[in-house]
Structure 1
Amino acid sequence: MMLVELTAPALEALPVAGLRDHLRLGTGFDMAEDTAETAALAGFLRAAIATIEARTGKVLLARQFRLRLEEWRDPMEQPLPLAPVSAIERIEMTNAAGAVTLVDPASYRLIPDMQRPMLAPVGAFLPNIPVSGHATVTFSAGFGTTWQAVPPDLAQAVLLLAARYHEDRSYEGTHSAMPFGVSALIERWRAVRVLGGRGNSRGRA
């Protein structure tokens, strides 16, 4: 499978002010300094969010993703690799010649779940994927569009990790370390990863 993130969290949704307060930083002396500091803090937050999401499989801020599959894991239900999923936007089938066909939305449904959301058929089976072709599932996932929608423990984990990135920004390789406090906060959200195909994982792009 191949999972692609189509949209990114807006700057306005990131808790830049919260991170600035957490770090006890003052405001810049002029607009240029404030702009540069905001950009830097947003970068640390995006890195922290990406790390927390990778460790938990949970999408903190709502955005859109595209999942490509060469075959269904099970024609009666297809696990989705992220949670929580709010909507299946569309499913497209691409045949060996590259022709794309939109699948009728009435033929499938979303089974929401905080750990293992599923794409399921309305009838007996999901639509057949063309031989030497693939299915593309576009879906929306995330707790919400604002930072207030993120569960408090995950939100705190992001601030702690972003603060560590800020403090260690002059050192090589520190972004791979996960502070104990952060690990403790995200532990209950961690889930066993589920492959999108029958052992045919092609990574995330």
Structure 2
Amino acid sequence: MYVPQKNITLSDPDTVVWKYLDLSKFLDLLLCKKLFMARADKFEDQYEGTFSEPTYGEMKKIAQNNPEFLNRYKTHREKVVISSWHINEHESYAMWQIFTQNSEGLAIQSTIGRLQQALASETKYEQHIGAVNYIDYKKEFIPFDDIFFPFLFKRKSFQYEGELRIISDYTKYGKTINDGVKIDVDINSLIEKIYIHPKSENWYKNLVIQLMEQLGFNFTIEKSDLESDILI
């Protein structure tokens, strides 16, 4: 299922996506060979998985004769899990600032095609990929004829995120979800390149390289554009 954001072609497998994370989360990914997906209602944004005001008005009309209608959508957030990625042809200074701390952390560079290949390893649970649409929640309508639509819309205040989401609905599996779940992924398909925090010390860069080698991975490590030398 694809819900395209304006100017983003999700049918293009070469569209570049990024995931910014700290070293512990990166090592967990490599050690477990599993991708963590967070429960939708655990995100910092309290509007996550909710509807805009025009949509809610329509839903309340339906709920007058069907009281369980709204409750079903509220509890549904507890059964949906999400892995967030950043769509951008280039590195993002803002993403380094938001998702890493103390000049440490990494960025995984991948593509939509690689995500699709990597997710093929997970055969038990169904995954969907979609780009987030950023709208005015006071004026614009969110369709509610698809269970994933509430999770593919966010307020315009978050537009800087340029977010792509891997989403899974665990309702039909009868599985209890705490903070999230881990799903099987092909790590070598998932990761095209690694960027180490541009402000990190050499010892940290060497540590990342050494740990990857010890775990049997040989990913290409690119120098951050933010480290580029001044030409004058």
Indicate whether the TM-score tops 0.5.
Answer: no
TM-score (norm 1): 0.28
TM-score, structure 2 normalization: 0.26
